[in-house]
Structure 1
Amino acid sequence: MPDNKKYLGMTVYEESGGNFSRVIEEKDLNALPEGDVLIRVQYSSLNYKDALSASGNKGVSRYYPHTPGIDAAGIIEESTAPDLAPGDEVICMGYDLGMNTSGGFGQYIRVPDNWVIPKPSSLTLKETMQIGTAGFTAAQCLLAFEENNVLPSNGPVLVTGATGGAGLISCMLLVQLGYEVHALTGKTDQSPLLKELGVSKVHDRSLGMEGSDKLLLKARWAGAVDSVGGQVLANVIKSMQYDGVVTSFGNAMSADLPLNVYPFILRGVHVVGIYSAECPMERRKTVWKRLASDLYPKKLEQICSSVTLEKVSEAIEQMLAGKLVGRKLVEVDNELSAHLD
């Protein structure tokens, strides 16, 4: 590979006055960080953490200029790792990728070998990024239900933030496994989509705010998947059945949790935190094995749309404005790269 190899990627620059700008530009391969594995990225996906990084959120990315993209799937071009060879199709998600390490919104990444997982043979690279961190998170929620014996026969389950990527995939997987799924969303105009996925009932997010002044609410849910946090999560916890399980992975409303102890000491409610960035490798492999088999989201195409690298900035603005529904696949290695090869 020539020393002056160039590739295309997004760069976020910090401007004067605390402003940030985004451009797609040629980048130097030699400027990538040191690592064991060089991957030519075929696909990435847009996550809320990417939108924050791309808009200058120092809680996500401390240093700029920077290339976001916490998800990447592609083909190894160089490797010093004995179990990862050039030509292998692989996934890299989480850890520091796209936060302070140059991420998947560039046509190349260079990362440590212990960040890389071989692509499951039954999935295409495109499918892995349609699933991405959102689907990986949703699958972990399902595994938490399994591990805590939350069965479809226990009663209905609730998904908050149901039109986001992780919310929609959670709804899809829960329906596939036979649960009665209720969705809580501020985008009730998306009810037809949720019903197409098999959701039994769509609730306006105002339901999640009812009874905020009460210590306990009517026991309704056997399980819940929450990406909202704040008062909605508190009220969901207060609405759980005995031994109900709530999985929590987001703070779209708030990082605060205004709650009392009664759901725990009177109903035995369990709250399971779900994290993906630092998920141990063995658990990653287990989750991806399930996503490639019985937890494959069968209606994935219905909730996914694609955007090229040059158009991803527009999708970022839509996401930050709360106007994006479902998953956004980023086609990284497309016609833009033809003149660089």
Structure 2
Amino acid sequence: MQPIPVTVLTGYLGAGKTTLLNRILTEKHGKKYAVIVNEFGEIGIDNDLVVGADEEVFEMNNGCICCTVRGDLIRILGGLMKRKDKFDAILIETTGLADPAPVAQTFFVDDEVRQRAKLDAIVTVVDAKHLLQRLADSHEAEEQIAFADIILLNKTDLVSPDELAAVEKRIRSINAYAKLHHTQKCGIEIDKVLGRGAFDLDRILELEPEFLGEDHHHHDDDVQSYSFKTMRPLSHERFQKWMGDLVAVKGPDILRSKGILAFNDEPRRFVFQGVHMLLDGDLQLPWRADEPRESRLVFIGRNLNREELQAGFERCIA
């Protein structure tokens, strides 16, 4: 049996990982992928943002994929590889706060996984507009670049040519070997990120000699995740005003915001995404008749006050 190729999609919060994953899943490639999505926080949203593979998405949340849920990752991989319906490849989208090294480590330290799966590449998506700021305040952002085999320098339309050159120079100072692509909304041919056979264990061991030994991964403990949900319909106008006021004051501290919202008198779900002061959202699929119209909202950042966010969210109820 040939080992199943595994691609790890990583990158800091809001860089565009889910956008890339959806591009892969909606391409007409005739292949079947199993998808593992990990989130940071107690309410899962990313699973519902992944399109076209509902029955093959395996979700883990409330923990970093590189630490507390590694056992879950090994169990899910083991279960996938024993199924009768076979997959062409497995895609793992890590939380934006994950150090990819321990994720890659899983494919070498667990015997069953090592025999049945092969790490094909670590693909890192970086946000051209916010990367320099992330590198200044996040160890994980630097690790994600250092361990990458392929880098998508995304959101290039949001920066000037000089800013883009500075960002690329900084990336190359961390990782001179990875294949680098400039993208907007992660627009790239799928064969440039999948099936590359790009993971090089020797290079990783040179970068981190203890890679196959004990895991000494540390988290940025300043980052917190707050999640809110309600079954009561929201007012679109109130939500827009609240978010506008909120990012005007707390934007620098909000690393990531995202939600799936049910507005009154609106049959479609509103999918909301934010990175610092940049907010985006649109109406997407209709709510199904058999599913609860539950609004879920997540904030990830520093110096955030749960009670203030809760009160603001409740003021949006219609």
User: What is the TM-score with the length of structure 1 in the denominator?
Assistant: 0.27
Structure with max Cα Rg = 1
User: What is the TM-score with the length of structure 2 in the denominator?
Assistant: 0.29
